[in-house]
Amino acid sequence: MSAEREFAAHVVDLLQAFAPCEAKRMFGGYGIFLDGLMFALIADGSLYLKADDETRENFVAEGAEPFTYFKQDREYQLSYYTAPDAFFEEPDATVEWARLAFDAALRAPRGKGKTR
């Protein structure tokens, strides 16, 4: 089992305290889903949680970094931020941060063809 796959399994195990989530392979990493809605992603060995205008400052206050990628020599930033250390160390914090991320995903505008 690859290290990233093991990490995805570990994240899903931690999230069981929040809800029964699943990891799906996508774009060279993993998307973390609950009820068909992606609220976290794993890329390059890091966990990123969904943020929005209501929650972004919570992540910034913890020193979280945004998820960025390059395409055609241009940098793009998505509304996902690195999970704080407490997410991995304290079950109550895991649930709290997961709830913030899932709620942000629920508030996100729906794209064409997407269902929730």
- SS3 for the chain is CCHHHHHHHHHHHHHCCCCCCEEEEECCEEEEEECCEEEEEEECCEEEEECCCCCHHHHHHCCCCEEEEEECCEEEEEEEEECCHHHHHCHHHHHHHHHHHHHHHHHCCCCCCCCC
Which pTM was predicted?
0.91
Average pLDDT over residues 71-97: 95
pLDDT category at 1 given cuts 50, 70, 90 is: low
The pLDDT tens digits of the residues spanning 4-62 come to: 999 999 999 999 999 999 999 998 899 999 999 999 999 999 999 999 999 999 999 99
Token readout for 8 is 């995805």
Cα→Cα distances 98→32, 52, 88, Å: 10, 13, 11
The answer to whether 81 and 59 have CB atoms below 8 angstroms apart is yes
Query: Domain 3-107 falls in which CATH fold?
Result: Yope Regulator; Chain: A, (3.30.1460)
Q: How many Cα atoms within 13 Å fall on the side-chain side of residue 38?
A: 18
Average pLDDT score over residue span 70-78: 91
